Amino acid sequence: MTNPKNTFGDHYLVDLYGCDPSLISTVQPVRDVLLNAAIKSESTILDDSFHQFEPYGASGVIIIAESHFSIHTWPESNFAAVDIFTSGNLMKPQIAIEIMQAGYGANYIKVVKMTRGALDTQRIQNND
Amino acid sequence: MTNPKNTFGDHYLVDLYGCDPSLISTVQPVRDVLLNAAIKSESTILDDSFHQFEPYGASGVIIIAESHFSIHTWPESNFAAVDIFTSGNLMKPQIAIEIMQAGYGANYIKVVKMTRGALDTQRIQNND
């Protein structure tokens, strides 16, 4: 990579289908698995915030030194949407994805990886 | 839309180039603009968490009833990476994007919209 400043990290959008509703209905199991995924993928955890929806469903975010994890769950549809944004090359998002798939009991996942800031920023800054 | 359960929201990945470093170096202006974007786009704010990096740069997340906002900034490269995940049709992400572009002084933005959970979940659940 000749100019690392041309990209700013990889953003993984992970859709988890067929999840076990008992594992994604309340904050505690949702948070436990997401924190474990962050730790085992060698993220540096800075802060986390989770919210319980009624009658069921949870949202949560973990801010990590490398960027963030987020999750939103729809237990009534056996579905959870996760994203992992990681800048730098130190953490291991694939490990996090495997832990989440197992931890939420997903029977199918779809992962999209987007590179953030992939334009030639120098050229853009010279255009104004 | 015949079956709204087949998708779970739109996830906007917004890359902001050519930002004013003074507007993205510390938590206060970063948080002020992101909260204003959330409010003006008619999001329901539930919680927020921001982190200051040294010597400069900020990360932050706002959990909203409709899902979340996040931001990570690289002032040394005039760059900020935002995402807006919105489920339901009530909030107005385009207003949030315009407020962020102006508030961070970005001279160019790239927006990618990803629909989350766009597979036929019923079919997937029947496959196991």
Which pLDDT tens digit goes with each residue over B79-103? 999 999 999 888 999 999 999 999 9
Q: What is the pLDDT of residues B31-68, one digit of tens each?
A: 999 999 999 999 999 999 999 999 999 999 999 999 99
Q: Which of the 8 DSSP states describes residue B61?
A: E
pTM of the model: 0.89
CATH number, domain containing residue B27: 3.60.90.10
Ramachandran angles phi, psi of B125, nearest 5°: -65, -25
In a domain, A25, yes or no: yes
In a domain, B1, yes or no: no
Residue A4 banded pLDDT, cuts 50, 70, 90: very low
Range of the domain at B25: 8-125
- Asked whether A61 and B59 are in contact (CB, 8 A), the reply is no
How many domains does chain B fold into? 1
- Asked whether B9 and A81 are in contact (CB, 8 A), the reply is yes
Q: Which of the 8 DSSP states describes residue B85?
A: E
Q: Return the pLDDT at B6.
A: 67
B72 to chain A, closest Cα gap in Å: 7
CB neighbour list of residue B70: distance below 8 Å, 6 or more residues apart: A61, A68, A70, A85, B59, B60, B61, B62, B82, B83
Average pLDDT, chain A: 90
In a domain, A51, yes or no: yes
Q: Do residue B48 and residue A46 have CB atoms under 8 angstroms apart?
A: no
In a domain, A2, yes or no: no
Q: Do residue A83 and residue B83 have CB atoms under 8 angstroms apart?
A: yes
Q: Return the pLDDT at B118.
A: 85
Q: Which token pair is A17?
A: 């289908």
Assess whether pLDDT exceeds 90 at residue A89.
no
In a domain, A1, yes or no: no
- How crowded is residue B115: how many other Cβ atoms within 10 Å of its Cβ? 12
Q: Return the pLDDT at B39.
A: 97
Q: What residue ranges in A1-128 does DSSP mark as E strands?
A: 10-17, 45-52, 58-64, 67-74, 79-86, 108-115
In a domain, B74, yes or no: yes
Interface test with A, best of B10, B85, B116, B120 (most A CBs within 10 A): B116
Confirm or reject contact between A123 and chain B (CB < 8 A): no
Q: Which token pair is A32?
A: 């436990």
What's the rounded Cα separation, in Å, for the pair A76 and A42?
32
CB neighbour list of residue A45: distance below 8 Å, 6 or more residues apart: A35, A38, A39, A62, A63, A64
Q: Return the pLDDT at B107.
A: 96
Here the ipTM equals 0.88
What's the rounded Cα separation, in Å, for the pair B34 and B49?
11
Over range A50-70, report the average pLDDT: 97
Residue A48 banded pLDDT, cuts 50, 70, 90: very high
Confirm or reject contact between A54 and chain B (CB < 8 A): no
Q: Which residue has the tokens 């197992």?
A: A102
What's the rounded Cα separation, in Å, for the pair A106 and A98?
10
Q: Do residue A63 and residue B67 have CB atoms under 8 angstroms apart?
A: no
Average pLDDT, chain B: 90
Residue A88 banded pLDDT, cuts 50, 70, 90: confident
Q: Return the pLDDT at A90.
A: 85
In a domain, B13, yes or no: yes
Q: Which residue has the tokens 């949030």?
A: B96
Choice between A118 and A63, residue whose per-residue pLDDT is larger: A63
In a domain, A127, yes or no: no
Q: In chain B, pLDDT over 90 holds for what percent of residues?
A: 83
